[in-house]
Amino acid sequence: MPTFTASLANHADPGYVAEAARRIDGDLGYDNLLVGDERLNHNTYSLLTLAARNSTDLGLGPGVTNPYTRHPAMTAAAAATLDQVSDGRARLGFGGGSGIALDPLGYDQEDPVGALSDAIEATNRLLDGETVHVDRPEFSLDGADLDVAPVSEVPVYVAGRGPGMLGLGGFRGDGVLAGAGLASVEGMAYARENVAAGAEKAGRSMEEVDLVCWAFLSVADDREVALDGVTPLVGRIVDKTPLPALEAIGIDADLAERVKAVDDIPDCSPRELREAIPRPVTEQFAIAGTPDECRTHVARLRESGVDHFGLLAFENEERGELDSLELFSEGVIDELDE
């Protein structure tokens, strides 16, 4: 039986996150709930504390944080606190940060792989009770140690889609959140190859790395409506991602250029986005459609060797985020149990 991780963006109202944690913690078949750490939205760790207080079994963590907007030492302290509050259920999703979130705040991502690598090492050492020294342009620690300790080993998941980030996940992560943009058999084969290369450099096997297919989830009775729910963010990601990186994950260069030519994506209507952003581009990032279509998509990925799915839920014109997670549970996860 594969593992399923649910995820919500941190734009969700705190009460909505608390209710989601109660419902997801029931019999929906999800093992973890991650909450985004993007832009100047609700504080991620406040939302995760609410989720911890409204659940008993779910693994909980940011999905994902980065070493720019949060100092790694503060991330370590937050993760340790969450681990205490949740009785050892903390997880830590760590990425290099996206231009969508970082550009408005003026951060320079000159060396995201190096920054994240050192951030993960520093965070792990702090969580292990060590005193840490780091001197980087992005952050520094001068004899820092934590005043709060976790109650368990907090696993660190590295998020990324490029070869460098995926390799770092294989080298240093307990798991890898592969995507967004790799929600296809070909995309996950590419991810597995790069994660394996990083694991080999560290003298590890792939069995030691929990590889997660990270996808945007939108479920509706109408496939077009479901895809409309994720298209605006896909467009913004493609616009911010360099063309060689998009080609590396299997997106046709001509299609990517069409997306990059779109002005004011957030202001476009669903109809305008359907015309401007080719469906094959959107589909690369998402498990979206009717329950039957989502089940077929998951089946293809499972046949290729994927056994952990991370699903960032989106609202669409038919359903909210939590409704999509529940319908996916009924139409996909429950069917796998039979």
Cα–Cα separations (whole angstroms), residue 66 to 54, 76, 102, 306, 319 = 26, 12, 10, 25, 30
Q: For residue 16, give both structure tokens.
A: 């909505």
Q: What is the pLDDT along the chain (338 residues), one digit of tens a residue?
A: 899 999 999 999 999 999 999 999 988 999 999 999 988 899 999 999 999 999 999 999 999 999 999 999 999 999 999 999 999 999 999 998 776 667 777 777 789 999 999 999 999 999 999 999 999 999 999 999 999 999 999 999 999 999 999 999 999 999 999 988 999 999 999 999 999 999 999 999 999 999 999 999 999 999 999 999 999 999 988 988 888 888 888 888 998 898 988 888 878 887 788 888 889 999 999 999 999 999 999 999 999 999 999 999 999 999 999 999 999 999 999 988 65
pLDDT value at position 71?
Answer: 96
pLDDT value at position 106?
Answer: 75
pLDDT value at position 130?
Answer: 98
pLDDT value at position 222?
Answer: 95
pLDDT value at position 100?
Answer: 66
Q: Do 334 and 236 meet the contact criterion of CB atoms below 8 Å apart?
A: no
